[in-house]
Structure 1
Amino acid sequence: MTQRTVVDRIDPIAEGVVSVVLRGTTGTAGTAGARLAPWEPGAHIDLTLPNWLTRQYSLCGDPADRESYRIAVRYDPLSRGGSEYVHRFLRQGRTVEVSLPRNHFPLQPAPEYLFLAGGIGITPLLPMLRAATAAGIPATLVYVGRSAATMPFLDELRTRYGDRVRVVAARRHGRPDLTALAAHAPGTLVYCCGPAPMVAAAEAVFPAERLRTERFQPVTRTFGPDTEFEAVCARSGRTVRVPAEESLLDALTHAGHPVPSGCREGVCGSCELTVLDGEPDHRDDIGAPTGRMYACVSRARSPRLVLDL
């Protein structure tokens, strides 16, 4: 299911970063005001761009605002075209489709929080900090970037949260001492989102039971050789052969069972399928719930999988 939105505002908020506000429409092009699906801190949406690319962005506005979503997009010259389109071609007034919000990075109850943000990784943590402080729960944000000019939402954070926010401009101050932070926060629940080296550093010093992470890209891992298997589509009664050289996602699409997809890297969750029988070979970075799998990267350990399709 998708939602129709119109680009309400596009504003530069840091070097190479724009904020995009998407307002719900009533079904008449350009008419705003429709209520959008609710969401909670940590959620993201799939944005289908007019050039047919679909990309995932964390929601970084106010969950209480049911008429608009806010995302932030950093321009990446090495990207696959999504950020380039947003920065160079997306304009105010353009109608775009977005998915219902999904949340694989939810804010869990805790007596105290430490948020670690690296660059554009601030986006899912911004509403978390808002929610924690509104609930009166002690929370600290350590926000790391190359320089203050490259860090989105910096003025908003300083104005709203004051000394709860520690800004670390790495070119000037170096990297934060995560070991010292871990020593002074023994009972704190830690949320970290940022580049791979920052996430790896957090994983090295914080106990796994107290650390929640979200990555921009999947961790490089090694799996056994890909083998052929069958995917049985229970509702249609069709059986689809999945060759060793083809993903389950592509095999289903070629067989006439297209599955929504976004990242194709096992980090966004848009291609989630329900598994009725068989043993999936999970290769995602999200951690698929029991009875689910992500068709873009995961395969089968058993000779066949029965899917709710």
Structure 2
Amino acid sequence: MLDFSRLDADRMSICAEQFSLATCIREATDLMRVQAREKELFLDICHDVPLPQTVLGDRGRVRQILVNLLGNALKFTSKGGVTIRTSWKTVENRILLTVSVTDTGIGVDPANAEHIFGQFAQADAATTRRFGGTGLGLSISRLLARRMGGDLVLSPRPPPGAQFDLTLLLDHADDTAVTAPLQAITAIHPGLRLLVAEDNGTNRLLIQKYLLHQPIDLRFANDGVQAVNLVRETMPDVILMDMSMPEMDGLAATREIRMIGGVQPHIIALTANAFESDREACFEAGMDDFLAKPLRKAQLFQALSRASKP
């Protein structure tokens, strides 16, 4: 809802950072592999030509679009699977990337082809009852694609299944510079005890992937109550605290933790709400730092590096 309102009001900024396209696509796909395996579906990536080593664009928003497209494709597919196919060409010294996401699912009636990109829309009422969802994902993804100089369309194809074609305009980048942001970050202190309070399984998996090879003690809580209990038991050094959780939200959990005696953890807010009022609410509750979603690896490492400093 917040993403859509910001895009609709032209208030969402698009970042320009160097990143690997192939890695971004693989990360988005890896996030959805558990869902594919649970449904016994294949999930394949095919590159028609090798992708540029590095590009300049908004990695987080590209990943957000891909995760949305893959999530929809898997949701509406019961047999077969999903294929991601990429290609690119140079247009006026820029990279025009095309990513096609094709599934073998229920498909989309041609009469509803444009309707599904509308606000709060799905293919039909029966689909909404059967599969659920807010109907905002495709609308947000198309708006994001257009903000990045491209588009998102439903391409005609014979049944079964559906094919969504995403195009994006990206800039060329220095191939040797893609790792520079992370190399410049102070290393996370070995043995850091980190608690991630996050109810969304996909976000937990993403953070775990980012921190896979780091020498830290990583634990997870699924809600605010569990987070407070784990703090009483283990007293972590740092907490990544999601603002919106069941049972007890991040603000209430932070207030509870600040009432516990002993050495206090460094608490970093995780939220999709990036307005100044949200930051102020976090700091008033007793938080020390603030990270906006979608979470990027460089930002996470920078925050943990700050938290590791005496």
Question: Please, what TM-score do these two structures have when normalized by structure 1?
Answer: 0.31
Which structure is higher in strand share? Answer: 1
Q: Which of the pair is proportionally richer in helix?
A: 2
The TM-score with structure 2 as length reference comes to 0.31
